Amino acid sequence: MNSSVTRTGVTPADFDAIMREKVPFVGDMDIRTESLSDDTAILRLPFKERYLRPGNVVTGPAIFALADIALYAVAWLVVPKADLAVTTEATVHFLSGAKPGDLIAEAKILKAGRRLLIAECHIRSAVDDSLCAHVIGTYAMPPAEK
């Protein structure tokens, strides 16, 4: 696990703790932050049988939840306390069925403005590295502290 400090000072351990405290649903999913850098977040969703749907693939809501949380993570790279950042738009392209196993999300900032952050996220299977989903999301950012 990369424990590098980002430009806002948020570490992977910090973000995981923030999610467990402020968004308990994320804690229930056991999503783990593997690394954070200046513009990228990599998170892992450990596999659970309850994420399977008919066809023996991971369900879309689990995939989208991972993507949304990864996009939220990159908001924390831009704003030191991004508690009030909210998803305003997301487009999900499901590209292939995710085989039973962990999923890896890599979110990257495309544009960070004062009011909006636009980022993309790739979801890959840790089983075979196949690209399962591509997500583009927009976050409304909290007002800058004065």
Q: Look at residue 94 and tell me if it is in a domain.
A: yes
What the block records as the tokens of 32 is: 């783990």
Q: Look at residue 4 and tell me if it is in a domain.
A: no
Instruction: Compute φ and ψ for 88, nearest 5 degrees.
Output: -110, -20
- Among all chains, which residue has been given the structure tokens 């693939």? 57
pLDDT (tens digit per residue) in 68-125? 999 999 999 988 777 788 999 999 999 999 999 999 999 999 999 989 999 999 999 9
Taken as a whole, the chain contains a residue count of 146
What is the rounded CA–CA span in Å between residue 86 and residue 89?
A: 9
Per-residue confidence at 146, pLDDT binned at 50, 70, 90?
A: low
Q: Look at residue 31 and tell me if it is in a domain.
A: yes
What is the rounded CA–CA span in Å between residue 82 and residue 79?
A: 5
Q: Which residues constitute the domain of residue 115?
A: 12-140
Q: Look at residue 125 and tell me if it is in a domain.
A: yes
Q: Look at residue 77 and tell me if it is in a domain.
A: yes
CB 85, CB 68: distance < 8 Å: no
Q: What is the pTM of this model?
A: 0.91
- Percent of the chain scored above 70 by pLDDT? 94
Structural domain count, the chain = 1
pLDDT (tens digit per residue) in 16-35? 998 888 888 888 899 999 99
Mean pLDDT, the chain, rounded, equals 91
Q: Look at residue 5 and tell me if it is in a domain.
A: no
pLDDT (tens digit per residue) in 60-79? 999 999 999 999 999 999 88
Q: Determine the pLDDT at residue 1.
A: 40
**How many helices (H) and strands (E) would you count in the chain?**
3, 8
CATH number of the domain residue 91 falls in:
3.10.129.10
Q: Determine the pLDDT at residue 6.
A: 64
CB 65, CB 30: distance < 8 Å: no
Q: Look at residue 3 and tell me if it is in a domain.
A: no
What is the rounded CA–CA span in Å between residue 62 and residue 70?
A: 12
Q: Look at residue 119 and tell me if it is in a domain.
A: yes
